[in-house]
Amino acid sequence: MAQNYPSKPVRMIVPFTPGGSQDVIARLFAQKLTESFKQQVVIDNRGGAAGLIAAEMVARAPKDGYTLFLITGGPISLAPALHPKLPYDPIKDFSPITQLVDTAMALIVTPALPVKSVPELVALAKAKPLNYGSTGNGSISHLTMEAFKHATGINVSHVPYKGAAPAMIDMLAGQVSLMFTSTASAAPYVASGKLRMLAVAWKKRSALMPDVPTLIESGVKDFESTVWVGMAATGGTPQLVIRKLHDELVRALQAPDMQSRLAPLGAEPVGSTPDQFAALIREDIARWVRVVKASGIGLD
């Protein structure tokens, strides 16, 4: 059966509602797999509960490769740090295939804030009360700011929102002073002067905003926070199927038309091996567990 894979349509579960950047990424790869496999790859959007609903569906699916998971850090590496009991095992219940892309988080502030660098922001935050927005309790933007607070010794107040759109609306209105968000989300507002980007939380500068320094360049030692996106199958899926999927996904990732479509999303192509992707997931879980313990956050 593995040798003839796929012999019927494949379902790709996406832990987001339609229209967002991760959903766009999912649809790009679903189209490529449909073309190469000559079998339809159908998108199944299962947003809600920070990705836990989608993750549980994949974990309980048959181990045959006909259920794929557009996997992100939320339900896989953030959830174990925040929830002592999950309805799935983030390591055992999924078979990593490849990390598709990496997207940097960016530190943005309102133009009304009299700072133009990370050291200036840190000094201001130590001198007066500031608040920050996030895309929700336990989100990557929330935990990245908590890690930043711990790394710099500042204390800014958290204002959680129910998603990126309402958080950005209040950011633009000046209701919150700073926030971590994806470079792609912030770039249009930064280009128009409505927001100011102080740094990106990456090991290198973002191609979208090459003039903006990294947090490491700005004096925050070893600080990185990225939104990685990859593909996984249900744990125990035959390795022959995993290899087929890996090879086709990496081939799709290397196509010039795919890279040109990913670039405006701030998505850096990766194409790791299954073992490399599994190692990244384990490291990411351990890192966010440390952040949550240091900040005292807990959702359960």
What pLDDT is stored for residue 139 in this prediction?
87
Whether 280 and 136 have beta carbons less than 8 Å apart is answered as no
Residue 297 has pLDDT above 80, yes or no: no
Listed residue (274, 228, 233) closest to 33, CA to CA: 233
Residue 143 structure tokens: 């935990």
Binning pLDDT at 50, 70 and 90, where does residue 298 land?
A: low
Q: What is the per-residue pLDDT across 213-266, written as a single tens digit (0 to 9) for each? A: 999 999 999 999 999 999 999 999 999 999 999 999 999 999 999 999 999 888
CATH code of the domain made up of 10-103+226-295: 3.40.190.150
Peptide bond into 6 cis (omega under 30): yes
CATH code of the domain made up of 104-200: 3.40.190.10
193: exposed, middle or buried (C-beta count within 10 Å: 0-12, 13-18, 19+)?
Answer: exposed
Which string of b and e fits 209-219 if b means at least 16 CB within 10 Å?
Answer: beebbbbbebe
Q: What is the per-residue pLDDT across 172-207, written as a single tens digit (0 to 9) for each? A: 999 999 999 989 889 999 999 999 999 999 999 998
Residue 270 has pLDDT above 90, yes or no: yes
Task: Give CA 207 to chain center in angstroms.
Answer: 17
3-state SS class at 197: strand
Residues 199, 220, 105: CA angle, nearest 5 degrees: 40
What pLDDT is stored for residue 1 in this prediction?
62
3-state SS class at 15: coil
What pLDDT is stored for residue 48 in this prediction?
80
Whether 56 and 90 have beta carbons less than 8 Å apart is answered as no
Task: Give the residue extent of every domain in the chain.
Answer: 10-103+226-295, 104-200
Span 287-293, average pLDDT = 90
User: What CA–CA distance (Å, rounded) separates 240 from 231?
Assistant: 16
Binning pLDDT at 50, 70 and 90, where does residue 299 land?
A: low
Q: What is the per-residue pLDDT across 45-84, written as a single tens digit (0 to 9) for each? A: 998 888 899 999 999 999 999 999 999 999 999 999 888 8
The values of phi and psi at residue 228, to 5°, are -90, 150
3-state SS class at 140: helix
Listed residue (288, 300, 248) closest to 98, CA to CA: 248
